[in-house]
Structure 1
Amino acid sequence: MNKNILSFLPAELFKAKSPHEYAGPCPLCGGATKDGFIVWPDRPHGGAFLCRKCGASGDGIAFLMKRDGLSYREACEALSLEPRRGTTSAFTPSRHAAYRAAQTAHGVKVPPVPSTPEPAVLPCHKWMDSAAAFLADCQRDLETSPEALLAVCGRFLTPYTAQCTGIGWNPADRYVLRKSWGLPDLTEQDGKPRTKLLLPRGLVIATRRRAGVVALTVRCPNDRPESRPKYWQVKESSNVPFVAGRAGLPVVLVESALDAALLWQESFNTVCGVALMGNMKGLDADTHNFIQSAPLLLAAPDNDEGGRAAWQRWSAAFPQAILTPAVGAKDLGDMHRAALAWPLNPDIPTVMEWVPSVLALASRPSNAYTLAA
């Protein structure tokens, strides 16, 4: 006999509102009320649920995947359901990370989400013009320089993807005059003037908006100077998310800009990747509206402590987001690498396989019905 969501909830806490509807406290976020978590046990796939506070919703399979970190097949077995053929465990990682909706049990302190994001503060026009020229120079040899090809293809990106998404390769440290970028000279603590701006060697990631290039981040190689961070943000860059894709597509929230570009590439431009850079401190009004207008919103934070903190903020800002982290790896880039590593592991999908799987699971009729309920 098939089970349903109620089989996994304490009977004393869930009361019948009608013959086909039960209500109780949300087991995912704790809930603000004692009856904000609605369960319809008679619906297909083990029933359906909706939390009126955190927005979590789905069928019985999705519930066990969200609450207990089960794979798709494990959730089906728990509900005595027959798994559909060809469906992978891409919705959540099986035993790799037990993600749940935002809750204080994680012990992670995150800053409150601003109720109304502010407009982005953009660099001056001279900075943006100089940044655009620098990016163009860094993209010039993407298909001919062995070093550039190794840096780009080592991230499983093609030169075409790099060109389209604003990624290039800077082969050596550059020191340019600050005034040539519209920046004033500075004075060091010892009184010496600082007249130059560092553009370090590495993979250049440009964040672009209609106004032009508004931010530059360099992913420095592993042989960088010891004092240099892995990610170097060029001074006066605007602190806004990186977007790979266009409006009107399903959006996947990630932490890394390189993962966002990989999503755009491997989905053949049918999914838009938005890199919120972990703690989402740079979420501006335009990007917030762009994300809100997406027909479907998924979230793939990293499978670590930082990712759990990121998910708390993301889910608070976008309650409609559906949690779909990487399978068997820290993030989507690592998952893609693991899927292609020998010996091949059929339980770990490539990003190309992961995208249609999570889109299908998130778009199932039961999920759409409960969201509209």
Structure 2
Amino acid sequence: MNLLDLAQEISLDPKKSSSTNGGEFKAKCPKCQGGKDRFCIWPNEGKSGRYWCRVCDVKGDGIQFCRDFLGMSFQEACQKLQIHLERYTRPYLSNRPLRRPRYSPKVVSPVSPSWQNAAKNFIHSSHKQLMNEPRIIELLSKRGLSLNTMRQFSLGW
């Protein structure tokens, strides 16, 4: 069974419009229900054919056709088209949930008191320098930072 058979099954009555690449057929679109030649069917492309509506842009292969217009599941569509599932599935993927390694946070040791002192001094001098730069304070204010925020979080320059 191919896409042309499926189209006839839902009474589309496709008409042959070309012999190129095994044939092209036209019919009324089953989705937008318009026209008589906007729905293109290429029954010999791929494993189960291919379709496309030039107006509503619905498109797909035989499996998608079964899902869209016959209300079938992927597995049911494959059975109807006699397509073996292993052609369409990846054997390394399964339905089992992925096992993620348990998170264990890395234990870090506190930095030395001399490093902490140096960092505090750097923050203090940078903050002091910012507070002496009205041009930079104005720039930060225009970006939404209040003077209070700059002081509270010891912003520096």
TM-score, normalising length from structure 2? 0.49
Structure with bigger gyration radius: 2
Q: Whose strand fraction is larger, Structure 1's or Structure 2's?
A: 1
